Chain A
Amino acid sequence: MLKSIIKRNEFITFLTIVVLSAVIGIINPTFFSVSTLFNVLRASNVYAIMAFGLLLVVILGGVDISFVAISAVSSYSTHMLLLSLGYEGGILLYFIIAGVIGIAAGLLSGFLIAQFDLPIFDLSLAMVTLWYGFDLFFIGATANFDLPEGMVGYYGAHILQVQDPVVGQTGLHISVLYVLVVGVLVWLLLRYTTIGRGIYAIGGNREVAIRSGYNVKAITMIVFPILGLLASIAGVTQGGYQRNFNPVLFIGQHLDVLAAVILGGAAITGGRGTVIGAYLGVILVQLINRALILTGIPVEWQQFTVGVILVVFTAVPAIRARRRKRIGHTEESEKFQEI
């Protein structure tokens, strides 16, 4: 039991987080504070919500990069619509309208992929430029800072207030609850439903999954609207938190989310990955970003350090996999038998 836990990729990610925290803490003792914990959690929230959606696609055996554009287009167009209507209420209506847009955008992707048997990555590439272009050309090209009355306080909507010895009053933002709810729902979906088992089965071995009776088209048409919905939730949350809505929200950040999902133990070839792993991956990425500031590495050399860490952290599991391969339990050989 213990051995099987230790061997899991999620455990490695967890261990990395612990070791990294210890190192930062030794260099800069102010790291160990409630305020840091809350900050890391809060910064992780929107990425975690997107990562849970992306996780489904990765397990299915695809790579999607269009979810960031769906975040942007759903949140920004919702904001501009409600602004023109003179809406002064809270964030709930934002979630509902943006959610519908996100689901619609996801349905469109899912339909095109299922109907025309398109490679997921290729289509998402078309969609990312299409949606950002749509947003900038048809909706608006500049960030908008006019918030309705009911959303002004969302920035400081904390579920927990704590007195921190260093920075004073600090709070845990409400969006951490969304992560909890979304995470549990996605976990349940993956673990206890036919759809979830189908996602793993298709990603593991598409041919076998089809022959066992899983409906690939139907499952594709379910996974992409979920990703769209989660992307729109992340978009609205981020807009509400940073107190402006931006037509190019999250642009270029698809790779950070993807890296988090993969660092969390999901296989980029599909069939493997967990909610816990994805969350740990997101935390790890946030921690690396924070580590650079706290350990006093000069700003201009921070990206270089991120690069070194990324290369090392992706090389270690690859080398481990290579060792396993020599022993004989290989994905390659399984694939070869299939041929």
Chain B
Amino acid sequence: MSEKALESKPKADLADFLESLGISGQTLLLLGILTVLIAFFAITEDRFLTSSSLSSMGFQLPELGVLSLAMMVTIIVGGVNLSINATSNLGAVLAGLMMTRLIPEGAAEGQILLYIGLALLIFLTIGVLTGILNGLLVGHIGIPPILATLGTLSLFQGISTGLTKGQTVTGFPEQVQFLGSERFLFIPLPFWIFVIATVVTYILLNHTAFGFKMRMTGTSPAAANFSGINNNSIIMRTYVYSGLLAAIAGMIVMSRTASAAYEYGSKTYVLLTILIAVLAGLRQGFGNALNIFLAVLILQVLSTGSFMALRGVRGSTFFKDFSWGLLLVAILIINYHVRGRRTHG
């Protein structure tokens, strides 16, 4: 995309300007779908645009959103990371066990904050360590990413299961819930985190040398190698970044639910993040964090909206799965026609 921007005529029009930002037809398509869905549910459901429903969405979607970004970066370099959710839960379990075991009864406010700081450190360490392991297996050893991260998924979830003996860890100090329950400028804090993570990932991918190399490695490892790019190092750093994002998602979950469970979201989240990636038009070497942001919003709106519309119908919570599938098929077909009209792709 960036080469195209360079070739363009000096008279830059709107399309060129958007393209230089990395905004493609896919972004506009997603924006259109989101607008139509919000308008539809706002008209048919009076409870949809109320502040309570908006804020519940604002607290709910960020953990999935940040996990989707963690998935996204690995798909960009031509991989996949099935272990993201297990990483989040491992971080939460370790931080949770540390706090419940070490914080003495009746500890002072300052002392508790110190332990929470230590918990954050545990999260970040787990993010980095799991990322290094994934990066080693995928890059240096060369296991197909889907298998390598399936193995580490089992490994990380296994450690969480073993340490907690399958129990949910609870009983944290109240201050832990700050992140998952407070707002800043009327917007839930988790949503801010999601916005910041999106912007950082966007800048990293589209406006840094590292992001450019990531896209090179994803498009063609052989060509990247011959251009002097160290694929293994790029893959390693990408998986570490992915692990860090997954750990941040774990912080949000732990703070929002005031608990740490080895199996939280293990049946749905990984599949959903890949679904979001496909919805966002992500391919090896190509992708945009803004599209991920929009795709997450679309999924949440569809889920909340259809739940409200089908209130009282048996099994109404399951309609969202069906509608997500239909939407994804529709997007794939639309993308096919858009691709067909261009010469490349």
Contact = CB atoms under 8 A, between A and B. Distances in A.
Interface stretch (A41-49, A215-223, A312-320): A312-320
Given A129-B275, A134-B322, A137-B322, A303 B161 contact: yes
B329 A310 contact: no
Nearest to B159: A304
Given A255-B150, A301-B158, A129 B321 contact: yes
Given A127-B325, A306-B158, 15 more contacts: A112-B332, A118-B333, A125-B275, A128-B325, A129-B275, A136-B318, A136-B321, A141-B318, A252-B267, A300-B165, A301-B162, A304-B161, A307-B158, A314-B144, A314-B148
A321 B162 contact: no
Nearest to A118: B332
Contacts of B326: 126, 130
Contacts of B171: none
Nearest to B220: A339
A123 interface: yes
B151 A125 contact: no
A141 B315 contact: yes
Interface string B196-226: 0000000000000000000000001111000
Contact of B329 (A130, A298, A305, A336): A130
Given A300-B162, A307-B153, A259 B147 contact: yes
Contacts of A126: 275, 278, 324-326, 328-329, 332
Interface string B12-25: 00000000000000
Contacts of B336: 116-118
Interface stretch (B34-42, B64-72, B117-125, B135-143): B135-143
Interface in A244-280: 251-252, 255, 258-259, 262, 268-269
A107 interface: no
Contacts of B220: 339
A158 interface: no
B158 A129 contact: no
A76 interface: no
Interface of B: 82, 137, 141-144, 146-148, 150-159, 161-162, 164-166, 220-223, 267, 271, 274-275, 278, 314-316, 318-326, 328-329, 332-333, 336
B230 to A, nearest CB: 16
A125 B274 contact: yes
Contacts of B333: 112, 116, 118
A255 B236 CA distance: 24
Interface residues of A, number: 53
23 contacts: A112-B332, A126-B275, A126-B328, A127-B329, A129-B275, A136-B315, A136-B321, A137-B315, A137-B316, A251-B267, A255-B82, A258-B146, A259-B147, A268-B147, A269-B144, A302-B158, A303-B154, A303-B162, A307-B154, A308-B155, A310-B154, A311-B155, A314-B144
Contacts of B329: 112, 123, 126-127, 130
A315 B141 contact: yes
Contacts of B146: 63, 258, 268
A211 interface: no
A326 to B, nearest CB: 12
Contacts of B314: 141
Contacts of A127: 325, 329
Contact of A133 (B154, B156, B325): B325
Given A141-B314, A251-B267, A314-B151, A336 B328 contact: no
B325 A122 contact: no
A332 interface: yes
A63 B332 CA distance: 17
B159 to A, nearest CB: 6
Contacts of B141: 315, 318-319, 322
B165 A132 contact: no
B75 to A, nearest CB: 11
Residue from the set B142, B153, B164 with the largest chain A CB neighbour count within 10 Å: B142
A268 B162 CA distance: 31
A125 B318 contact: no
Given A126-B328, A300-B165, A314 B158 contact: no
A311 B148 contact: yes
Contacts of B142: 318-319, 321-322
B332 A307 contact: no
Nearest to A268: B144
Contacts of B223: 339
A285 to B, nearest CB: 12
A335 interface: yes
A132 B318 CA distance: 8
Contact of A300 (B82, B161, B318): B161
A301 B157 CA distance: 10
A67 interface: no
B271 A262 contact: no
B321 A318 contact: no
Given A118-B332, A300-B165, A315-B143, A306 B322 contact: no
Residue from the set A138, A258, A298, A303 with the largest chain B CB neighbour count within 10 Å: A303
